[in-house]
Amino acid sequence: MTDILMPRLTDQMEAGTIIAWLVEDGETVDVGQEIVEIETDKATIAHPADAAGVLETVAGVGDSVAVGEVIARVGVAAEPIASGSRAAGGLRSNGKAAGALVTPLARRLAGAHGIDPEGLAGSGPGGRVTKTDVMRAAGIEVAPEPDRSDLAPVAAPRTPVADTGGPASDGRPGTRVQQPTRLQQIVARRMAEAMATIPHFQVQTEVTMDAALALRVQLKEAAGDGTPAPSINDLIVKACALTLPDHPLVNGSFKDGAFELHDHVHVGIAVASDDGLVVATIPDAAIKSLGQIARDSRRLAERVRTRTATPPELTGATFTVSNLGMFGMTAITAVINPPQAAILGVGASRPTLARARSGEIVDRQLLTLTLSCDHRILNGADASRFLLDIKRCLESPLRLAL
């Protein structure tokens, strides 16, 4: 008998919730076959079996289980499951989705409308039935996605926290109690811990963005219709990726009392999901083209919003960019995502009047960058040199297009 344990699917995961068992008790499973959907603090992820045999579930649907605790057991090995079965591909022979491939949101929506989601053909990754599939089956018109090409991944509107519908516990009239989601609870706790344990300091600069904005216009024209051009946030991520290798402490971590200096540059981007802020990771960003970074950021943002992101897509960032410019915010002072050494807060590009070298008054587009730093690994000079190099890169942006 082999124990199947609650896996650690993200860097700071402490527990996971069983959303659905994809294989029933007594059925045979093969190594690598997806057997359970687990909700973490950041996403809903299908987890495979690491042994072959007959499945015996221990944790039930809806149970929250600590990392490392037993959620199931696999008994005497059975014959490997044939390709084309439900476990192997998740699709029935008629092309309809099996119950294993229905997102939790789609499952709840289907129940509300009396629709069997297993009878739908999924349009999501791997044939997964999504909210859109259920809405179409229910006869609900699905509005087309707006053009987000000018926005950073964080631009998704945030859904209000669920309301309990009752008065406050002290009975005060006109007061409602809202319960935070598990993700919001975890984020609140981690942010409090970060502020209490990390000595933050900030450095700030203003970047003249006229050249970068002109470059984006050219890229948009070159891309043509139907091909999103890199956003301003993509330009900033690329600038960070190019600059970080020259500043190993900024790309480093303070962990267990020591400095960890990373040879790779994995840039995290803050994405607003329905119930909280999630950092997705663009791996090896320093060696990726601007176009590839743009494609990666859009793909990651969509996977975060649909809760289909995988653990590697949500972990391992060595530096993070958090952009609130699309909301018109002038500047943002972000909280460090430990164990990273720094996080870059990005404000909105805004028109200003400036005096040119010739003495005349000219229009300029200024953008405020705020670098929050861990004083245990970085000092003011380290941070200032890094931010100055970012500024130079964005003000002479042709290098970003290489």
Q: Which of 200, 262, 264, 375 is catalytic?
A: 375
Q: How far apart are CA 189 and CA 296, in angstroms?
A: 29
The set of residues, in sequence order, having a beta carbon less than 8 Å from that of 137 and lying 6+ positions away, is 110, 113, 115, 120
How many other C-beta atoms are found inside a 10 Å radius of the C-beta of residue 366? Answer: 17
What sign for the dihedral angle of Cα 234, 314, 255, 285? negative
Q: How far apart are CA 63 and CA 252, in angstroms?
A: 37
How many other C-beta atoms are found inside a 10 Å radius of the C-beta of residue 197? Answer: 10
In order, the DSSP letters of 58-100 are -SPTT-EEETTSEEEEE-S--PPPPTTSHHHHSB-TTSPBPGG
Say if residues 360 and 378 touch (Cβ distance below 8 Å).
Answer: no
Amino acid occupying residue 186? I
The two three-digit tokens of residue 226, written as one number: 């139907």
- Report the run of H or E that residue 373 belongs to, with start and end: strand 361-374
111 by DSSP, 3-state: which? helix
Identify whether 375 is a catalytic site residue: yes
Which residues carry out catalysis? 375
